[in-house]
Amino acid sequence: MKLKVCGMKYQDNIQAVADLQPDYLGFIFYEKSARYFNTSIPDISKNIKKTGVFVNETVEFVLEQIQKHDLQAVQLHGNESPEYCKQLKNCHAELVSASLDNDLKHPQFDKSLEIVKVFSIKDEFNFEVLTPYEQVCDYFLFDTKGKLPGGNGYTFDWNVLNDYPSTKPFFLSGGIGLDEADKLNAFKQSPASKYCYAIDVNSKFEIEPGLKDIEQLKQFKANLSFRT
């Protein structure tokens, strides 16, 4: 099971979290977020996938940020349609192809791009809405339904995932902190976790929005025994 730390904001803190070797680091390109990222990403391990988080942005804007920050994944947290996801994937592939054809060796375009589509859950969920996204996304992410598109700070009922009908790997998110370590270890032993690819953490490990508590993250990672 992989670990994603989302909502990174401050350069020194980004480097400190990167030293813990999570599998993904998330950067939020949504101006209304308290964790809005508008600076540069420091040089971190190539083993960590830099993930841009977007909410109902244009494909052009997303591609600009991919190029600017050398992102390997995008997380779509709004009402993006399956057609949008397909267009994003295709446009990115075209840019990569053009750079290779011209032998430009463009450092800002990785050859592959992972698309993570977010769906919010509270007490129940209609899994039929996932079907149109099966062929256009690499992963799903299940978060807690709340007032904000992410960062609400509390968990949803993970038992809902017992009815997960897909084989698409997913990220589990929403209010996960140190207090959920035992619950997560139990979840990992349940049928609901069969396709759980990664745990996504954010606000429960913060000193302030965007500033992560390194010692708490160390403890969480040790308690969960993440496999990379």
CATH classification of the domain holding 102: 3.20.20.70
CB neighbourhood size of 213 (10 A): 18
Tokens in use for 33?
């977020």
Token couple for 164: 């997960």
**Longest Cα separation, the chain:** 52
Beta bridge partners of 198: 2, 171
pLDDT of residue 96: 86
What is the total count of domains within the chain? 1
Mean pLDDT, 10 residues at a time, the chain of 228 residues = 96 97 97 96 96 98 96 97 97 85 55 93 93 98 77 80 96 94 90 94 96 97 72
Crossing angle for the helix pair 214-224 and 11-18, nearest 10 degrees? 20
User: How far does Cα 103 stand from its chain's mean position?
Assistant: 31
- Give the pLDDT of residue 110: 59
* CB proximity list for 110: less than 8 A, separation 6 or greater: 70, 71, 72, 96
Host domain of residue 91: 2-224
Q: Which amino acid is at 183?
A: K
pTM, two decimals, is 0.92
83/96 Cα distance (integer angstroms): 20
- How far is residue 109's CA from residue 67's CA, in Å, rounded to a whole number? 6
Strand partners, 140: 117, 170
pLDDT at 112: 85
pLDDT of res. 212: 98
- Give the pLDDT confidence score for residue 146 in this predicted structure: 67
pLDDT for 123: 83
Q: What pLDDT does residue 28 have?
A: 97
Give the separation between CA 44 and CA 48, rounded to whole angstroms: 7
